[in-house]
Amino acid sequence: MVRIGIIGAAGLSGRELLYLLERHEEASVELLTSSKYQGQKVNEVFPELSNYSQVFQPNEIDVAGCDLVFLAIPNQASLERVPKLLEQGVRVIDLSGAFRLRDTEVFSKFYKLSHTAPELLEEAAFGLPEFFREKISAARLVSNPGCYATGALLGLLPLGELLADLDRPPIIDAKSGVSGAGGRVEDDMTNYVSVNENFKAYKVFSHQHQPEIQQYFADLSPYRTDVTGEVIFTPHLLPVNRGILSTIYLHFRKSVDAGEIQNRFSKFADGEKFVHFMEEGCLPDLKMTLNSNRVMIGAESDESGQNWVIVTSLDNLVKGASGQAIQNMNLMFGLNETLGLL
């Protein structure tokens, strides 16, 4: 049984962890914290979590007795807390972006913070199990991927060496529900009046997931940024609660056979419990992945075979956050990767 603490358990990702861990046979939730609700019972604050009778503790509480701590707190707080947790011998899955980028200058540019624990950046495993299982399994610290990055990378990387034949940067046109863009009541961009019956692009060329996508796309593909240019990523805010749909535009130097694209995605998905590639002529929508740890992928091209559109769908709070975090936990503790998720 894995003894678990969740720091920041009352936020969107923290609560999603609680929903999912409730049915996990090898997880025992020992400690829950919330700066807003400390001293109150979980099931009184959130009646839908009726099985959790624990009291929310302050975020600074000692985590002694926990094997693993999920951090569902802001970037600055994670930067301060992670080194202390590791010193205590506790393994950590961090859902913030504090340890995703290796370049501290790039981190400072996009996160508007100075990185105070650069010595941990090389050690941190990037928590995309489809590509980093071995490192995740042995890790003390797993940096859970961003929701946009998960959808984009799983829509690109299965194409392998075909990506060397792109003659221009991939264009990732991604749309997220409000919970993926923060969803804070006090935020003018995501409050009801601003979102309802509206649709907007935001943080163009400045979103924190832009360098994350670029870093791992460069690491894991033959695409040459120095020759062809960096990935173009534009996030949009949808007036829905949850879900991310990413439409990825690719242009190849020469025609690529549909069978080749289909074969690469199908072969990749065959070995993955949470990646599903759709039949030719079918594309995913948001409802296909709602409340699941699944990523759905579809692909279409024009008659030339040079222009391809890849569409991915995922739930930003599950595969884009808490579900993927549990998938990583399962790997870290030698459990069945699907436990608590299927």
What residues act catalytically?
Answer: 147
Residue 181 is given by DSSP the state G
Helices (H), 167-293: 192-195, 209-220, 225-228, 258-270
CA 298/CA 151 separation, integer angstroms? 12
Long-range CB contacts for residues 115-121, cutoff 8 Å, separation at least 24? 115/79, 116/79, 116/80, 117/79, 117/82, 117/83, 120/82, 120/83, 120/86
Closest CA to 289 of 275, 279, 272, 300: 275
Q: CA–CA separation, 295 vs 288, rounded Å?
A: 9
Q: How many Cβ atoms are within 10 Å of 221's Cβ, its own excluded?
A: 20
- Quick one: tokens of 285? 């929508």
Amino acid at the residue 146: G
Helices (H), 283-341: 323-332
Q: Residue 19: which H helix or E strand, with range?
A: helix 12-21
- Return d(Cα 115, Cα 98) in angstroms, integer: 8
Tell whether the torsion through CA atoms of 51, 55, 61 and 62 is positive or negative: negative
Strand 2-7 to strand 68-71: parallel, antiparallel, or no bridges (unpaired)? parallel
The residues, any chain, with a CB within 8 Å of residue 125's CB and separated by 6 or more, are: 132, 135, 136, 138, 139, 141, 142, 143
Separation in Å, CA 100 to CA 93, 142, 149, 320, 341: 12, 9, 11, 14, 24
For residue 163, the SS3 value is: helix
